[in-house]
Amino acid sequence: MIFSAAQNWTTVARVLLAIALMVGHLTGVASLDAAAESQKPTILGSWLIDDALTAAVQPVEGHKKSSFDGIGMPSVSVNGMPLPGAGGGAQASSGSAPDPKVLRCSAMTIEPVGKEIQLTYVGTGSETLTPGTVQGVKTRWRDRSLTSNYETTSRKVSKRFELQKDDTLLVTVKLNPRSGPSVIHKRVFRRGDPGLVSSP
């Protein structure tokens, strides 16, 4: 009886040891997965425009003169729509809407604010986008990409921010006026020192 009880305790001890090792292994795997997830490349961060790369990807259509004639006062918008009394932004001499702020900045920051995403364009303003459809602005946000589409009385505007394999950020803006051909602009940004990027 004593020998049998000892065998039983030995078996139980081995089972408990096996369970402990399995739990430890699973915990280690979970920790590694969490660490890998936290280091996963995203579009978030501070960005500086790269003139050479931008010139290399610029489509022929993008060289067509846009409606923007100069950098105006900073403005603030929510979901891509200017806020009244928030600075007004740059206006084209022809009276048409100005080009999106991302086309007029040399640096920007992208950061989450709760469930929203805040884009600050140095020198030209900022905008806050909310995933889903809000006030006519359709926004989709993933780790490596952000898209925003909206429509005004004069044109349709689509913006796409996409992280590339070389960790640069490609921004594609398509302007589709109700009268006239569509125009595509592209900008390439590289990660920059956050200290070099300040709020407008």
DSSP labels for the chain?
-HHHHHHHHHHHHHHHHHHHHHHHHHHHHHHHHHHHHHT---S-EEEEE-HHHHHHH--GGGGS--S--S----EEEETTEEPTTS------TTSSPPPPGGGG-SEEEEEEETTEEEEEETTTEEEEE-SEEETTEEEEE-SSEEEEEEE-SSEEEEEEEEE-TTS-EEEEEEEEESSS--EEEEEEEEE--GGG----
Q: Which residue has the higher pLDDT, 128 or 123?
A: 128
* pLDDT for res 149: 97
> Given strand 155-163, what is the order of strands in its sheet?
81-82, 75-78, 125-129, 116-121, 107-113, 45-49, 183-191, 169-177, 155-163, 145-151, 137-141, 132-134
Amino acid at 109: T
Q: Which residue has the higher pLDDT, 25 or 84?
A: 25
Q: Which CATH class is domain 45-196?
A: mainly beta
The pTM of the whole model exceeds 0.85: no
* pLDDT for res 69: 34
Count of residues making up the chain: 200
Is residue 81 predicted with pLDDT exceeding 60?
A: no
Per-residue b/e over 117-135, b at no fewer than 16 CB within 10 Å? bebbbbbbbbbbbbeeebe
Q: Domain coordinates of the chain in residue numbers?
A: 1-40, 45-196
* pLDDT average, residue stretch 95-112: 88
* pLDDT for res 58: 82
Q: Which one, of 127, 116, 121, 122, lies nearest residue 150 by Cα?
A: 127
Q: Which residue has the higher pLDDT, 6 or 128?
A: 128
pLDDT digits (tens, 9 = 90+) for 30-58: 444 444 445 689 999 999 999 999 999 98
Q: Which residue has the higher pLDDT, 94 or 15?
A: 15
